[in-house]
Amino acid sequence: MTILVTGSSGILGKELIKKIPNVLKPSHKELDITNRQSVFDYFQTHSDIHTVIHTAALTGIRECEMKKQLAMEVNVIGTKNIVDAIQKYNENIYLNYVSTACVFDGHSEMYNEKSIPYPENFYALTKLLGEYEVKKLTKNLIIRTNFVGKSKWPYSKAFEDRFGTYLFAEDVAKGILEINKEQLIDIVHIVGDKKMSMLDLAKITTPEIKSMSMNDYSGPRLTIDMSLDTKVWKKYSISNI
């Protein structure tokens, strides 16, 4: 029995494949989720798959706004292709879909699994549409979370007034595998036990980071408060450097 991780070259995918023995981690050439035939061929060939952890996504908010068709193809059609392949070849496959805190509008805080999504931008909309594709399956798990890689902050500044219950990718990977042992279904939020600003998060890996505010920003609408709560699972402490 085998676990397939899509998007294994991404921040979360890399952490997952470190923790899973004998994992299937196909390259884009081996499995192009936007190509329906590629997806169907892969699932037909790998008949021993029992779990899919679907992390592959286009996540850049500006990129999704500028390339809406590509965002739809990757985040929505790609997810639909996986769901359809599971329905055709093995409905017992347990699909874990990694979604985002950004499905909520960010005008309040501490959204739980029963809170009503209301996306602020096109990226978040595509991830929410992906959730609805996943719900077509009986054995589905939608994982909403908010994480970064444990590395130097990729920008010179970070928002002092944008918030979340952030974790590092390795913390989320740990949470996903713990939830998999319990075979939970429906929606689970993997959250940190502390609300912090994006600036505070950036300072953990990049102490010299400079501050900026939303007043300094221009671009697509952002989810300001991405803080999540959970009513069905435990909370995690963000790991140390």
Residue 240 pLDDT grade (very low, low, confident, very high; cuts 50, 70, 90) = confident
pLDDT at 241 over 90: no
What is the reported pLDDT for 117? 98
User: How much is the pTM?
Assistant: 0.97
Confidence of residue 212 (pLDDT cuts 50, 70, 90): very high
Query: What is the average per-residue pLDDT within 53-79?
Result: 98
Q: Which two tokens stand for residue 79?
A: 């997810």
Task: Compute the average pLDDT of residues 161-181.
Answer: 98
Measured CA to CA, the distance from residue 84 to residue 96 in angstroms comes to: 15
Position 1 pLDDT exceeds 90: no
Q: How far is CA 22 from CA 25, 48, 159, 200, 227, in A?
A: 9, 12, 40, 37, 34
Partners of 4 in the β-ladder = 24, 52
**SS3 state at 140:** strand
* Average pLDDT in the chain: 97
Question: What is 148-210 written as a DSSP string?
Answer: E-SS--SSSEEESS-EE--EEHHHHHHHHHHHHHHT--EEEEE-BSS-EEHHHHHHHH-TTPE
Mean pLDDT, rounded, for 226-230:
98
Q: What is the model's pLDDT at position 72?
A: 98
- Chain segment 134-155, per-residue pLDDT in tens: 999 999 999 999 999 999 999 9
Domains detected in the chain: 2-149+168-192 (3.40.50.720)
CA-CA distance, 136 to 131, in Å (whole number)?
9
> 180 Cβ partners below 8 Å, 6+ apart?
51, 94, 96
